[in-house]
Amino acid sequence: MPWLLLILPLVAALVTALITRKNGTLSAFISLGSVGATLAISLLMVLRKDDASPAFTWIAAGDFTLEIGLTLDALSRGMMVIVTVIGTLVHVFSLGYMEKDESKGRYFACLSLFMFSMTGIVLANNFAMMFIFWELVGVSSYLLIGHWFTKNDPVEAAKKAFLTNRIGDFGFMIGILMLWGMTGSIVFSEMEGGAAEAAAGHGKMFGIAVLCLFCGAVGKSAQMPLHVWLPDAMEGPTPVSALIHAATMVAAGVYMLARVSFLLSLTDAAQVIAWVGAITALFAAVVATQQNDIKKILAYSTLSQLGYMVMAAGLGDTNVAMFHLYTHAAFKALLFLGAGAIIYACHHEQDIWQMGGLAKKMPVTFLTFAIGTAALVAVPFTSGFFSKEMILLTAYEGNKTLFVIAAIVAFLTPFYMMRLFTVVFFGEGRSHHAKDAKEVESVMKLPLLVLAALSVIAGYGFVAGLVFGDLVPHEQVPSIVLVTSLGTLAAGALLGFILYKGKTQEVTPIGFIREKFFLDELYIVLVRLFQDAVGLLAKMLDTHVVDNIASKGTASTVAGLGSLFRRIQVGNLQAYAFLFGVGVILVVYLLVFA
Amino acid sequence: MITLNHYLFVSGLLFALGLSGVILRRSLIVIFMSLEMMLSAANLSLVAFSRFHLVDGLPNYNGQALVFFIITVAAAEVAVGLAIIVALFRARQTTSVDDITSMKY
Amino acid sequence: MMPAYYLEAAVVILGLVLMVMEAFVEKADKSLIAKMGIVGLLVVLVSLFFVSGPAEGDDAPIWSFYAVDPMALFYKGFALVTTILVLIMSLDYRSVLQHYMGADQEKPGAGIGEFHYLPLFTCAGLMWMASAKDIVSIFVALELVTISFYVLVAFMRRNVGSLEAGVKYLILGALSTGFFVYGLTWLFGLSGETELSKIAAALGNDDSAMVRYPKALLFSLAMILVGLGFKIAAVPFQIWVPDVYQGAPTPITAFLSVGSKAAGFVVGYRIMEPFFANHVAPQLVTLILAISGATILLGNLAAVAQENFKRLLAYSSISHAGFLLLALGCSSSTTSPVNVEGVMALYLGGYLAMTLVAFHVMCLVRAQLGSEDLSAYKGLSKRSPFLAGVLLVAMISLAGVPFTAGFIGKMYVFLMALQSRYFVIIALAVVGVGAGFYYYLKVVRAMYWDDAADDQSVQISTLSKVAMLTMVALIVILGIYPTPILNLFAA
């Protein structure tokens, strides 16, 4: 049965891509059917606590065998539920959001491809398989970001996402190969056995290998310094942003760290991971306060929350990271879908300063968005509150400096969310799009309501325990953490509300932050410098070495030999018989007399 | 006393003659006859091997069975081969190998 | 369950029935013959899964010259699939045949019926070759295949190219048969046996003439290798291949390049296998490796400059024979659990799929655009995106791009060669693969980047579409998951 999780979306992707692509509605329902079925299977597996892990040999060559196998444990089962729940809701939402899109068939084919690849990452029992699917999600993400490929920005964004990810994946691959060499296996369960010995035996190199592995997570989960692709990826359709660039794919990096948590506890390199996470969280939260595009704000917020998760993982508590991943998936998907509904209602207007007064016009969206915001900023009794408590607690116990950073982020989060919320929903409509916005149809409302409910209840033990079993962290939270959490929340939210209430434009414009510390520009300059240098070197090599010696030499040798061989073929039967006879003599000589 | 070696020598001679016929002659019919000669060489050595390889005092009849198959197959080959050569003659009015060189290189 | 040889009998009977039908049912559309043949062979293909070998204690004489093992069954299926696809191709190729048979208006199918049932006899011969384990049955099966090929190659009797190809194939084929028989004769003379298993057993006996006269044994093996080298198109006996491939009707070219080659390798493996663990092994392996290196190099380099697609594939077929020989050459030294039979079967299975797709496309292009030159493939992607797509898959697989059957086959051959430490041949093979990329992708470039001379489109029947898609699926599936075939041969 677990294989169905992989097969169904693959079949759906193939069928929709090859056969029903022209018929968008049919494709949509095939895709929806497959994701619905996988949801049912994942829920069933969670309820039954399936842990049979089927495997079969893929390639065997000498000593090297490669298995395709699935891991079913509390971690993968829970992650599967997250992926399929959000996936199903996003599919439903897309029915409405993409209804008038011309290439709906292609869109749903790509969604199914994504579901297939993501399932592969979650269920993989070895690094080779995970890496293949890791690349496949990269591909499907590329296709979906560039869905509207007739426009320039989505194409650029898709390319940027793909290339940035490739940088991370290169490190990931090196990490896999190094660890394969050190532990002698690429199967997770077998690596676990050899890890301690490998860590002791290789010392620093082991830490470097783990950091290389982490490079993959840096790329996929958009951590500093490879975070630049995620905000740009918002050029894709909004449901895609919700599914891939908020809830699931970007969390794959965190999931991978959780999968190999046994490696993290063995090396000091984990400290680096924690710091990368913390810095990303802080940086993204700061940038988010100055963005004007509703999706960009949410994208930076995602970055910031991913930073939280990576920090927790780096501090050694991957369960906390996974718990936050889980609640975050619900409320961030909700926020993105809500943003999608708003954008849809405002005729693809994304600038928050062009909105306003939407609370009355879109009551359901308003309400659900409010719940999502509450969960994100960790209002007590919402799911985000529980998981953020745990993150702060982990930081508090692990490293006091990181705790301070986390607290600052906890202050910035309610600040920028309150800014977004006030500007979008209150005041007067600031453009005609906003003025004649209407509530979206029910096929889009339904996922919002379900996600709103999940955003509230997901944090409670009875739900979380169902999904993740005993991986859910339960710890007594000391009062200083509680006070920090509530205090930063109150301060941030109040400040945001007071500053931005009734305003029609940015009150404290800080260009430096709005331009994301000019990191993109810096990268462009660096890349160009590097490219120019490499280009010059390559050109010199090319003209002097490759062209003159290697290429021309080889080409003429090959062509010369080739035409020589062709000349043998004179067309005369007698000559052939003669050559045949010569061949026989050669063979007899070589075999009998040589 | 004629030994196995004598037979094998004659057979080898026959085989070499056939091969040189194939290589040197220009008429397809003669080439084809030379090919049959090579098969006969094989037959001769088979019978010789069979005769000198006594099993329980009798010749080894396995080899002679193979001879019959070779004769039969050769007959079939000749039937088909001559038909092809005739078809070629009807199309080109020639059976010389020098005239059928339209495909090369 | 039924004895395995029922299958060959069924195929022969089917062929005879169709032959009689063709002669007496004059008015019938001749394509019916091919369609009945296809259906019949499909039934035989299915029944392949329900056959059995000798029961315990069954020592009927047939089992002494008829093997039923995984290898035999695999190559029987191989022959059946190939023949089915050749028949489908022959349906697409009918317009060309009609043109060169000089059909008149009243009887458009006159003289074409034979073209549709003769492949069945070839198929029976190929199937028998897969099972043959006695030099008599090997010889007879081989000749059944060869003689029916003589007819088929020269089939277009008003086409000079076809006749020329027929004559060249006839003379050189008969020549190679002469050497092969002579080699078998000597093998019989040295061992006193015709059954391969008894020959192998006699090898262990120090009194055997095979051990006492190693030079004579090597001479007989050399002769046998000459005969088989001709069948599989190995250097220096590849000389007939380009001309015959070019001249023969395209479905028959496909048949030759897949069926004949595979059968040659099965027989070669069966005959040579005992000698790989023996005092003559070093010489034998050296020779096979030398032939393999020369074959890979010549095939690939001579293909580079070809402008005729059929000749290009002829040289490509030569080069693939080189890779297969390299696998065969690893027989004696490789110790990996992946055995030579498995790798050869995998390689040939992938080769079947990609070659038949390429030739099928060629049939359609030849029948509808009237040319086999590469220039006819310019802009094929516009004429028929389907054909261009399947040919693209076939070409990248022939070139050996990852996730195709062609890649996985080459990968295993390289792995085995590495284990056996044949570094010189590996270097040659790498050169060959590099050159291969160039000329295979030349076809792809013509299809996708060059513009067509006109905008005539190419029509494809549903049957052909299904056939080609099945083969493309096979290419991809084998490229991703080759284990089933390897497991089939795992000890």
Instruction: For C231-282, give the secondary structure using H, E and C.
Output: HHCCCCCCCCHHHHHHHCCHHHHHHHHHHHHHHHHHHHHHHHHHHHHCCCHH
Mutation site for A-interface testing, chosen from C190, C279, C287 by largest number of A Cβ within 10 Å = C287
> Among residues A300, A307, A345, which one has the least CA distance to residue A324?
A307
Mean pLDDT value of segment A111-130: 86
Query: pLDDT confidence of A514, banded at 50, 70, 90?
Result: low
- pLDDT at position B72: 94
Beta strand A55-61 pairing with A64-69? antiparallel
Cα separation of C326 and C421, whole Å? 12
Cα separation of A335 and A340, whole Å? 8
Boundaries of every domain in chain C: 312-491
- pLDDT at position C57: 80
Contact list, B22 vs chain A (CB under 8 Å): 577
Which residues, including other chains, have CB under 8 Å from residue C445's CB and lie 6 or more apart? none
Mean pLDDT value of segment A373-401: 83
Per mean pLDDT, which range of A475-479, C161-165, C296-300, C330-334 is the poorest? C330-334
Cα–chain center distance at A582: 65
Cα separation of C75 and C268, whole Å? 13
Out of B45, B48, B77, the one facing C147 most closely (by C-beta) is: B77
pLDDT of C181 over the 80 cut: yes
- pLDDT at position C370: 85
Count CB atoms within 10 A of the CB of residue B75.
11
* Structure token pair of residue C216: 């004579």
CB A456 within 8 A of CB A371: yes
Beta-carbon separation of C140 and B69 below 8 A: yes
Identify the H or E element spanning A60: strand A55-61
Query: pLDDT confidence of C491, banded at 50, 70, 90?
Result: low
Per mean pLDDT, which range of A21-35, C103-117, C264-278 is the poorest? C103-117
HEC per residue, A473-531? CCCCCCHHHHHHHHHHHHHHHHHHHHHHCCCCCCCCCCHHHHCHHHHHHHHHHHHHHHH
Query: pLDDT confidence of B21, banded at 50, 70, 90?
Result: very high
CA separation, residue C113 to residues A240, C23, C155, C452 (Å) = 59, 8, 11, 35
Per mean pLDDT, which range of A31-40, C174-183, C343-352 is the poorest? A31-40
Beta-carbon separation of A561 and C301 below 8 A: yes
Per DSSP, helices labelled H in C25-159 are 31-47, 62-65, 70-92, 94-101, 113-131, 135-153
Closest-CA distance of chain A to residue B75, Å: 22
Q: Which residues, listed in sequence order, are joined to residue A64 by a DSSP beta bridge?
A: A61
C474 or A223, greater pLDDT: C474
- pLDDT at position A513: 64
Out of C225, C297, C408, the one facing A587 most closely (by C-beta) is: C225
Per mean pLDDT, which range of A380-384, A532-536, C147-151, C359-363 is the poorest? A532-536
- pLDDT at position C104: 60
* Structure token pair of residue C65: 């010259």
CB A250 within 8 A of CB A336: no
ipTM: 0.96
pLDDT of A266 over the 70 cut: yes
Planar angle of CA A515, A517, A522, nearest 5 degrees = 100
Query: pLDDT confidence of A551, banded at 50, 70, 90?
Result: low
CA separation, residue B85 to residues A527, C114, C145, C357 (Å) = 72, 19, 19, 32
Instruction: Tell me which chains share at least 3 CB pairs under 8 Å with chain B.
Output: A, C
Count CB atoms within 10 A of the CB of residue C299.
28
- pLDDT at position C222: 94
Which residues, including other chains, have CB under 8 Å from residue C76's CB and lie 6 or more apart? C4, C7, C48, C127, C130, C131
Query: pLDDT confidence of A238, banded at 50, 70, 90?
Result: confident
Beta-carbon separation of C219 and A566 below 8 A: no
Per mean pLDDT, which range of A16-20, A363-367, B43-47 is the poorest? A16-20
- pLDDT at position C106: 63
Cα separation of A52 and A45, whole Å? 10
Helices B61-92 and C160-191 cross at an angle (nearest 10°) of 170
CATH topology of domain B4-92: Helix Hairpins (1.10.287)
* Structure token pair of residue B105: 């290189």
Query: pLDDT confidence of C30, banded at 50, 70, 90?
Result: confident
Percent of chain C with pLDDT over 90: 55
Cα separation of C359 and C93, whole Å? 11
Highest mean pLDDT pick, A181-190, C47-56, C354-363, C378-387 = C354-363
Query: pLDDT confidence of B34, banded at 50, 70, 90?
Result: very high
- pLDDT at position C137: 93
* Structure token pair of residue A105: 């068939």
* Structure token pair of residue B29: 């019919």
Work out the mean pLDDT of chain C and round it to a whole number.
89
Count CB atoms within 10 A of the CB of residue C215.
12
Mean pLDDT value of segment A43-57: 76
Count CB atoms within 10 A of the CB of residue A100.
8
Per mean pLDDT, which range of A54-68, A412-426, C202-216 is the poorest? A54-68
Say yes or no: C186 contacts chain B, CB-CB below 8 A: yes
Query: pLDDT confidence of B31, banded at 50, 70, 90?
Result: very high
Could you tell me which chain B residue has the CA closest to the CA of A571? Answer: B104
Mutation site for A-interface testing, chosen from C226, C230, C393 by largest number of A Cβ within 10 Å = C226
pLDDT of C398 over the 70 cut: yes
According to DSSP, residue C374 is labeled G
* Structure token pair of residue A357: 């007064």
Cα separation of C239 and C236, whole Å? 7
> Among residues C349, C357, C352, which one has the least CA distance to residue C392?
C357
Query: pLDDT confidence of A511, banded at 50, 70, 90?
Result: low
What is residue A65's three-state secondary structure? Answer: strand
pLDDT of A357 over the 80 cut: no
Does A237 sit behind a cis peptide bond, omega within 30 degrees of 0 on the bond before it?
Answer: no
> Among residues A144, A171, A318, which one has the least CA distance to residue A243?
A144
* Structure token pair of residue C334: 């490789």
Query: pLDDT confidence of A63, banded at 50, 70, 90?
Result: low
Beta strand A64-69 pairing with C2-3? unpaired
Beta-carbon separation of C304 and A58 below 8 A: no
C137 or C305, greater pLDDT: C137
Mutation site for B-interface testing, chosen from A572, A576, A585, A588 by largest number of B Cβ within 10 Å = A572
- pLDDT at position A534: 74
A117 or A508, greater pLDDT: A117
CB C259 within 8 A of CB C76: no
- pLDDT at position C71: 92
- pLDDT at position A558: 72
> Among residues A174, A258, A251, which one has the least CA distance to residue A215?
A174
- pLDDT at position B73: 93
Query: pLDDT confidence of C139, banded at 50, 70, 90?
Result: very high
From chain A, which residues contact C within 8 Å (Cβ)? 56-63, 558-559, 561-563, 565-566, 568-569, 571, 573, 576-577, 579-580, 582-584, 586-588, 590-592, 594
- pLDDT at position A517: 67
Beta-carbon separation of C221 and A580 below 8 A: no
pLDDT of A333 over the 80 cut: yes
Instruction: Tell me which chains share at least 3 CB pairs under 8 Å with chain C.
Output: A, B
A549 or A380, greater pLDDT: A380
Identify the H or E element spanning A57: strand A55-61
Cα separation of C397 and C351, whole Å? 9
- pLDDT at position A367: 85
Highest mean pLDDT pick, A109-118, A359-368, A376-385, C40-49 = C40-49
Beta strand C51-52 pairing with A64-69? unpaired
